[in-house]
Structure 1
Amino acid sequence: MNAPAPRTRRLAVLVTGAALIAGALTASPAAAAPPGAVNPMHPDFGPNVTIFSPSTPIADIKSSLDTLAAQQRDNEMGTSRHAVYFLPGQYGTDEAPLQFEVGYYTEVAGLGLNPADVNVNGAIEVYNRCLDNGGTSNCLALVNFWRTLSNLSLHVNKAGQDGCRQTANFWAVSQAVSMRRVNVDGKLSLMDYCTAGPQYASGGYIGDSRLQTTVNGSQQQWLTRNSEIGEWTNGVWNQVFSGVVGAPDDSAFPSPPYTSIPQTPVSREKPYLYVDDKGRYNVRVPAMQQNSSGISWGAGATAGRSIPITDFYIAKPGDSVLKINTALALGKNLIFTPGVYNIPSTIHVWRPGTVVLGLGHATLTATKGSTPLAIADAPGVVVAGMTIDAGEKLSPVLLKVGLSKTRNLSSKASKNNPITLNDVYFRVGGPHVGKATTALEINADNVLVDHTWVWRADHGVEGFTGGDTQRWNTNTGTNGVIVNGDNVTATGLFVEHFQKYNTLWKGENGRVILYQNELPYDPPTQADWTQPNGTLGYPGYVVDKKVKTHRLDGGGVYVFNQNNPSIVTANGFSVPRTPGVRLHHIMTVNLSAGTIEHVVNGVGAPATTAAIGVPSYVVDYPAP
């Protein structure tokens, strides 16, 4: 985002697994040897994972983290990936707090079983990024992407900072940023009101956290899920709360623009690393919850299972797909250590219950037109903490979940143990030219998508500016998300800038809680942005006309036709006119160029440059 204006499943699994093992053995007997043993006390996570202990002097921790922050502060399109972990204990005191910033592609997390096991007295922050005049003006958070904070307790202590900075812990972020399992004692601000403006921020996610006082500020859209909050102030366009104890009342929507859902219908918290009381590393895999609210760790350990680190293959950049697939075929789970992995063929995840966990925003980049990752229709598979990039040769799909819909083998087992994606992000373009027909394709039933950003880049270093027609023809992404499976739930679905369908939902009984979309900035002409049937433009959210049941709570489609401001899109949303398809609290808004004529199906006022930044809302469609 840029600144505005400025059915036999078992047989299939066994056949697939056998084919993988046989292929690996035939291709390279040496590569088929079991992966090297993992030291449970000191696993090798590679050079870009830093682990601190309470015995490390605070000055040394701060020096290390300040150096990392300086390296990553402006490294938006770089290749460095980092994870910073804290062993259980106390970090910082009232007199000497631990204060540091979190830059691009950086994960910060505690290694306790529960958030209370790691306590930071100080501040963990993200500030506005200043983009003009050598980094002294146009200061905003609209491009503060790709960073993570999780599994610790933070006592906000800003001692030694200036008067304005002392007022809050600043977490001024936008897409592909999550805060999970964090207990914040003090004031948290989701905007940086101390740095010179315009101070815009545009979208993020908090899950499974306890917050005392939160300033939403300039955040245009935000999802808070399964948390506990005290005071929450402000709201711009689209602030959604699901399963949140203390969520604000939403009866006056859109003033304020709150959407509050008492219980989250389906959820599963993200897996996380922890060290047990014997010093051994494990991965905790939370259990699925239904109709839940509040934090998962309030009464002790989050319900779920623990997997010893010795049951994981720990991948490092440069590992071959053959080596990774062999480890999976031999029954290993998979950890990707921080880095960029060039993937020329598909990594197949086919065994039920397999966990694939990325550390430090590990990134899979398609090469040779590959589909970097495919998940068989197997219950309980969890993929978390990964970014998947398109490469310069066209990929048909970047992540495929389940077999094709015509061969869907979903079983009843997946209803209580869904395939889950937590913090899985997609990118077409940005650091290099990218080409993909579809970023995320979901063919399996009973899938849970918990926070994703699916982005066809509107800016980057590949040599084409956002308003340049070359981008439209070179940095190509046809579809963002296509859902063919039934009973698919998405909590926090952010999809932007694709050239045809940003989201196309064809499965039955879909449920989405917070949807955010920007239409593409760069169609050169109206003809380039017109459907074959003559409809002007493609809606940002489309439910197929054959679907009978679907629900969306809290959705926004934004228009900023920077390349050609005369372009018109007929509708922000398009859904079947049937009682079983319901949209609740939706809106469109103009960011300074182009037009959306209606919110949904010819209903709702236009979003035009006559009212820049002023949303057009529809409370319910169809109207009650």
Structure 2
Amino acid sequence: MRTRRRNPVVVSIFAAITTAGALAFPGATPSAWAATTPDFGPNVKIFDPKTPVTDINAFLQKISAEPEFSTNRQAVYFKPGVYGNAAGQNDPATATGIVNSEVGYYTSIAGLGTSPTSVTINGALHSEPRQNADGSSDGLTNFYRSLDNLSINPIQRPVGADAERAKPEGVAPAHTMRWATSQASSLRRVDIQGNLDLNGAYGATLFGTTMADSRISGTVNSGGDAGPGQAQYYVRDSQIGSWRGGSANLVFSGVKGAPASDFTGRGITTLPTTPTSRPAPFLTVNGDSYAVFVPKARTNASGVNWATDSTAGTSIPISRFHIAKPGTDTAATINKALASGKHLILTPGIYRLNGPITVTRADTVVMGMGYATLAPTGGQAAIEVSDVKGVVISSLLVDASPGTDVLVKIGTGTANNIGDATNPTTLSDLFVRIGGAQAGSSKISLQVNQSKVILDDNWLWRADHGTGVGWTSNTSDTGLVVNGTDVTALGLFVEHHQKNQVIWNGERGRTVFYQSEFPYDPPNQAAWMDGTKEGYASYKVASGVTTHAATGTAIYTLFLDSTFAGAPVHAWTSIEAPQRASVRFTAMTTAVIAFGGGIRNIVGTTGAAVDATQPNQVVPGFTASARLAAHPR
């Protein structure tokens, strides 16, 4: 059961602080593609421009009502062309013939063109907040949905039961589409030909996700100027008309049109470029010839790059992929295909495998559709990558079973300098869940032993609600352990693990945007101690590391169980790191979301405390805020 989050205490540091001072894909041309329509199974729907809009809407609305822990998975694709009628774009109330549906759980919707502009949707593919009994709205559990590689001329109207409400959430101004979501709901290669509302029609509380390689011609509204809104958001390698709203932690890297950094008012951190990035792979079609385009890495990127020629990446014909189906493929059949030289597509569904998917060949692509979910049995790992470079893993959800040591392992740990900055192993939209959907436990969710890896929008979540949730049930020590050198995390979300959320042992690591919550459920302080220290730091850089950098960190508490027990717990600090000038943290936020307890320090023993007994405190040199109200997590 989720709890209501009330007014938090927030302390933000928005200034550069050092802990020493203040604290070869073998490419193929289109002519080599096999001219055949693949069998993607029953959970993939492909529309073409001749499909009646009524049929499109009926299907999308049918699949939009899945519950949070549904076992159904869906992927929807649009072939190149124009869908829907643009006639009502200036007055959505009069619009007819538009593509208009909410997007529900475990649904990915994408265009099949080589550019987002190849597919135009006149209408809206939107996500709306829920309305609560007290009149508030939130999208705090609006997880697991995505849009990719399409253009939208936004014309939005309420649909379904929402349309019958006195105050429909789906109402939107002209030229505006809403995407009110929290974690694991990325926007990639999306071209919004108007405005994008990340908040809600009446204001809503949400907890942020990632937008990448996208263009928004109008205004993006995140809310939060007065009342609820997006608590955090990460946008990279994109272009926007303007941004409206403030938050605890909005981070922009390589975004043309991004707002200027505003460390004391709006909680904004803006970097002119993204140090290194690699866009996620995506499916394309030319006639009936399907391929997967795998972009190359970019260095110091800024703005969108939708090119698909040989300078931008490699097209791999679908004939070179093993197309797996749940209930049919086993770990053995998948690994046999990978060993034979095939890449891997996991069609939508849940794969209950008796062993890990093992990647032993450099440059292998493993791509999921429709939140394909790996649920290994018997405490087995989900994915293990050998000491090979250039592996691309994208769009997968992993559910732990009881007794897992490491769910996803990149590199064996015996040769951690293997890696290539020009062809980095990349994990995009990889989400790991401990409990919630099923009983599960793990020592480590993701372990990176390889160098120069890019972590791109990863949410590593020890569930705080759902099946098998409890302090002694869905046990998990740590979300992420990085042993490799020169690893970069872009949009890192790690929550509720029972010791450190992140442990960074490798040299020259970089994080751009980090969102984390301590576990909600320590029963008392004695049960949550790091030796003699109260609790564990969320983000820990090992004492032997000489160089590290992180910017845009937001770390929160909501100590639920200990509060009800009458003795709220504390964390001694949010970040633990060696005191060296080359270990740098910038733009840090800490907060007590609700209930009791707090955080004693921000970095090590430096920085002001946040505590439930001191609401809305203002400390000289710091900023207090109460923007993160009513967050039922």
SS at match of 1:475: coil
Corresponding residue for 1:178?
Answer: 186
How far 1:279 sits from its partner (Å)? 2.6
- Is 1:431 aligned to residue 437 of structure 2? yes
Cα shift readout 1:147-192 (whole Å, capped 9, x = no counterpart): 1101000001136887981323110000111000000011111111
- Is 1:369 aligned to residue 379 of structure 2? yes
Q: Structure 2 counterpart of 1:549, which letter?
A: T
CA distance in 2, matches of 1:50, 1:515: 35
Aligned pairs for 1:239-318 within 5 A: 239-250=250-261, 252-276=262-286, 278-297=287-306, 303-318=312-327
CA distance in 2, matches of 1:147, 1:409: 34
Q: Note the residue ranges of structure 2 that are not aligned, 5 or more in a row.
A: 7-32, 88-96, 224-228, 624-633
Alignment check: 8 A CA contact 1:107 1:149 kept: yes
Q: 1:364 to 1:164 in 2, by over 3 A?
A: closer
SS at match of 1:507: coil
How far 1:603 sits from its partner (Å)? 1.8
| Alignment counterpart, residue 50 of structure 1, candidates 45, 58, 63 | 45
CA distance in 2, matches of 1:275, 1:131: 42
Aligned pairs for 1:394-473 within 5 A: 394-404=403-413, 407-408=414-415, 410-411=417-418, 414-462=420-468, 464=469, 471-473=470-472
SS at match of 2:369: strand
SS at match of 1:64: helix
- Is 1:343 aligned to residue 342 of structure 2? no
Q: 1:478 to 1:233 in 2, by over 3 A?
A: same
Alignment check: 8 A CA contact 2:356 2:376 kept: no
Aligned pairs for 1:353-392 within 5 A: 353-391=363-401
Q: 1:350 to 1:232 in 2, by over 3 A?
A: same
Q: Number of matched residues?
A: 566
Corresponding residue for 2:560?
Answer: 562
Structure of greater relative contact order (alpha carbons < 8 Å, 6+ residues apart): 2
Q: Note the residue ranges of structure 1 that are not aligned, 5 or more in a row.
A: 7-37, 465-470
Cα shift readout 1:113-165 (whole Å, capped 9, x = no counterpart): 10000000111100012466xxx965310110011101000001136887981
How far 1:611 sits from its partner (Å)? 5.1
Corresponding residue for 1:86?
Answer: 78
Runs of 4+ in 1 over 3 A off after TM superposition: 1-4, 136-139, 159-164, 298-302, 610-620
CA distance in 1, matches of 2:41, 2:526: 50
Q: Structure 2 counterpart of 1:446, which letter?
A: K
Corresponding residue for 2:473?
Answer: 474
RMSD across aligned positions (CA): 2.2
SS at match of 1:323: helix
Q: 1:613 to 1:201 in 2, by over 3 A?
A: farther
TM-score by length of 1: 0.87
Cα shift readout 1:358-389 (whole Å, capped 9, x = no counterpart): 00000001211101110112111000000111
How far 1:300 sits from its partner (Å)? 7.6
Alignment check: 8 A CA contact 1:214 1:232 kept: yes
CA distance in 2, matches of 1:493, 1:618: 27
Alignment check: 8 A CA contact 1:40 1:310 kept: no
Q: Structure 2 counterpart of 1:434, which letter?
A: G
Corresponding residue for 1:129?
Answer: 130
SS at match of 2:445: strand
Q: 1:414 to 1:301 in 2, by over 3 A?
A: closer
TM-score by length of 2: 0.86
- Is 1:152 aligned to residue 156 of structure 2? no
How far 1:581 sits from its partner (Å)? 0.3
Q: Structure 1 counterpart of 2:441, which letter?
A: K
Alignment check: 8 A CA contact 1:176 1:204 kept: yes
Corresponding residue for 2:628?
Answer: none
Percentage identity across aligned positions?
40
| Alignment counterpart, residue 221 of structure 1, candidates 232, 242, 245 | 232
| Alignment counterpart, residue 610 of structure 2, candidates 599, 607, 613 | 607
SS at match of 1:408: coil
How far 1:299 sits from its partner (Å)? 9.4
Alignment check: 8 A CA contact 1:76 1:104 kept: yes
How far 1:516 sits from its partner (Å)? 0.4
SS at match of 1:325: helix
Q: 1:3 to 1:206 in 2, by over 3 A?
A: farther
Cα shift readout 1:427-472 (whole Å, capped 9, x = no counterpart): 000012111010000111110001100000001134x5xxxxxx00
CA distance in 2, matches of 1:384, 1:448: 12
Alignment check: 8 A CA contact 2:324 2:347 kept: yes
Q: Structure 2 counterpart of 1:279, which letter?
A: D
CA distance in 2, matches of 1:433, 1:618: 45
CA distance in 1, matches of 2:405, 2:619: 35
Corresponding residue for 2:213?
Answer: 208
